[in-house]
């Protein structure tokens, strides 16, 4: 399933780009759905971070749906297998 990202109600194309919302307020895009299709705005979502060893990447932002499925941004791939690491919970927003 192709993932979409939003800031507020606005669709964004690059999930790694912070969006300026006025006066010192930068907002990180968030995924719209979890991997099984739940709309995250309607669920309990835990934001986190997984450090990544792949070249050119420091880590993945994670959004964990209350169903247990995790969205990784950017996507994990066959080189890093970061989906096997446990995300560190952090506070964002």
Residues in touch with Zn ion (CB under 5 A): 34, 38, 52, 54, 65, 67, 69, 80, 82
**Min. distance of Cβ 60 from Zn ion in angstroms?**
6
The encoded tokens of residue 31 equal 């995924």
Closer residue to Zn ion in complex, CB, 18/66: 66
**Min. distance of Cβ 36 from Zn ion in angstroms?**
5
Closer residue to Zn ion in complex, CB, 26/79: 79
> Judging by DSSP bridges, how do beta strands 46-51 and 59-64 pair with one another?
antiparallel
Q: How far is CA 46 from CA 6, 14, 22, 49, 68, in A?
A: 16, 21, 25, 10, 10
Closer residue to Zn ion in complex, CB, 7/52: 52
């Amino acid at each position: 399933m192709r993932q979409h990202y939003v800031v507020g109600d606005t669709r964004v194309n690059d999930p790694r780009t912070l969006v300026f919302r006025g006066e010192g307020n930068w907002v990180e895009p968030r995924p719209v759905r979890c991997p099984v299709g739940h709309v995250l705005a309607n669920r309990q979502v835990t934001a986190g971070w997984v450090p990544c060893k792949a070249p050119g990447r420091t880590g993945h932002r994670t959004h964990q749906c209350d169903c247990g499925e995790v969205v990784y941004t950017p996507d994990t791939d066959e080189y890093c297998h970061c989906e096997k690491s446990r995300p560190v919970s952090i506070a964002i927003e």
